[in-house]
Amino acid sequence: MTRQGKTWLIIGAVFVALLVARGMIGQGLGRVYVKRSEVIVKLPASSTSAATISWQEWKQVPPLEFDAAQKANPAQTEISFSWPRTIGLWLAAFFTLAIFSFLYADNPFYKIAESLVVGVSAAYWGVIGFWDTLVPKMFGALTPGLVKSLVQPSLLDPENMQQISMVFALILGVMMLWRLLPRGGWISAWPLAFIVGVTAGLKIVSHVESDLMAQAAATMKPLVVSVTDASGAINIWASWWASVANVLLVVGVICCLAYFFFSVQHKGVVGGAARVGIWYLMITFGASFGFTVMGRIALLAARVEFLFDDWLWLIDPNHFRGL
């Protein structure tokens, strides 16, 4: 056995031993309980079948609720232990740890988790594309009767223009797929040109409005601001800080623009402004980095909280188990 193999074996053995020990202390390890409820829906009067339909729903409940129900009536079956959801919980914990294990070194557990994420994501997007776009929008417009009777009874009748536009979309879709054929791959350039044209048209107008005009207007601020309080008197400190904020904003915009203005050599006043612009940019990048770190730590904290709370039952911040 290689040195790395031995290390993994030791880590795995220690981990399993800790898990078993945790399972034997106190309330044990993560379990999921569900509560059964009956859903009864009244069908419209026009329906030819039964007047109502009903089914059972299972809602996850805190273990505390299961304990209370068991104490009240040990024979109750309304709230029960759920094997499928408990297995799901343990799988979620396993895959979380499998992904984290990459931080130590690449390994088969990480590879399995990674492959599963890629496979499930691809399949999920395929299903979403089919059921949320192709079926209701394309087939639902072209063959509404068939879609209604087979898969989506609640489908609304398409408008006439919708059918015509979907015929156009279908033709473009077929043209796009033409590139898979050995000949005539150039035909797919036409729908691509359509997509590029429409996207550019949509984006140019909105970007000019929101990112150029509105932002330019937002930069035109008074450099000296007087802030008055409720009694009408000028608040000197608030006025001072509001003025400083506006000055910093206007100077920042001008200096950053100077840095990206390459038609004049960065010397003298322009060079000085460009240097100040670099400082502004560096501070911006620092703020972006700080926000990114904050976001990533929040995600890590959520996963660690899941492991400690839902899986290991070490903590109980939501008071689900009455620890």
Partner 1 sequence: MSSANFNNTNASARPWFERLDRIDRRWIFLLMFLAVSGPILWIGVTGKTLPEAPTMAARAVFEEIDHLPAHSLVLISFDYDPASAGELQPMATSLVRQCAAKNLRMVFIALWPLGNQVAQQTIQDVIRDDYPALKEGDDFVNMGYQAGNEAVMKLLLTDFAKAFPKDSRGEATSNIPMLKDVKMASNFPLLISVSAGYPGSKEWVQYVISAKNDEMNFVTGCTGVSAPQLYPYFPQQIAGLLGAIKGAAEYESMVNASLAVDGVATAPKYLQAQRRMGPQLVAHLLMVGLIIVGNVIFFARKRRGAA
Query: CA–CA separation, 193 vs 141, rounded Å?
Result: 25
151 binds partner 1 (CB under 8 A): no
Residue 319, φ and ψ in degrees, nearest 5: 55, 45
Q: How many residues bind partner 1 (CB under 8 A)?
A: 49
Query: CA–CA separation, 301 vs 289, rounded Å?
Result: 18
Question: Which of the stretches 18-26, 63-71, 264-272, 295-303 binds partner 1 when contact is defined by CB under 8 A?
Answer: 295-303
Query: CA–CA separation, 32 vs 77, rounded Å?
Result: 15
Q: How far is CA 249 from CA 216, 222, 289, in A?
A: 12, 11, 21
Q: Which is nearer to partner 1, 115 or 318 (CB)?
A: 318
Q: How far is CA 224 from CA 241, 246, 276, in A?
A: 10, 8, 21
Listed residue (102, 27, 13, 14) closest to 62, CA to CA: 27
Question: Which of the stretches 29-37, 120-128, 175-183, 264-272 binds partner 1 when contact is defined by CB under 8 A?
Answer: 120-128
149 binds partner 1 (CB under 8 A): no
Among 2, 73, 77, 154, binds partner 1 (CB under 8 A): 154
Q: Which H helix or E strand runs over 20? A: helix 3-23
145 binds partner 1 (CB under 8 A): no
215 binds partner 1 (CB under 8 A): yes
209 binds partner 1 (CB under 8 A): yes
Among 148, 308, 310, 321, binds partner 1 (CB under 8 A): 308
Helical pair 268-305 and 236-259, crossing angle rounded to 10 deg: 110
Which amino acid makes up residue 267? K
Query: CA–CA separation, 172 vs 168, rounded Å?
Result: 6
Question: Which of the stretches 61-69, 79-87, 229-237, 284-292 binds partner 1 when contact is defined by CB under 8 A?
Answer: 284-292
10 binds partner 1 (CB under 8 A): no
Please give the structure tokens belonging to residue 154: 């609640």
Helical pair 108-128 and 83-100, crossing angle rounded to 10 deg: 120
Q: Which residues fall within 8 angstroms of residue 1, CB to CB, at 6 or more apart?
A: 9
Listed residue (119, 90, 76) closest to 31, CA to CA: 90
Cβ 170 to partner 1 shortest distance, Å = 16
Question: Which of the stretches 5-13, 231-239, 256-264, 286-294 binds partner 1 when contact is defined by CB under 8 A?
Answer: 286-294
Radius of gyration, CA atoms only, the chain: 31
Binding track over 164-203 against partner 1, x by CB under 8 A: --------------------------------------xx
104 binds partner 1 (CB under 8 A): yes
Binding track over 223-252 against partner 1, x by CB under 8 A: ------------------------------
294 binds partner 1 (CB under 8 A): yes
204 binds partner 1 (CB under 8 A): no
Binding-site ranges for partner 1 (CB under 8 A): 103-104, 124-125, 128-129, 132-133, 137, 153-154, 156, 202-203, 206-207, 209-211, 214-215, 217-218, 284, 287-288, 291-305, 308-309, 314-319
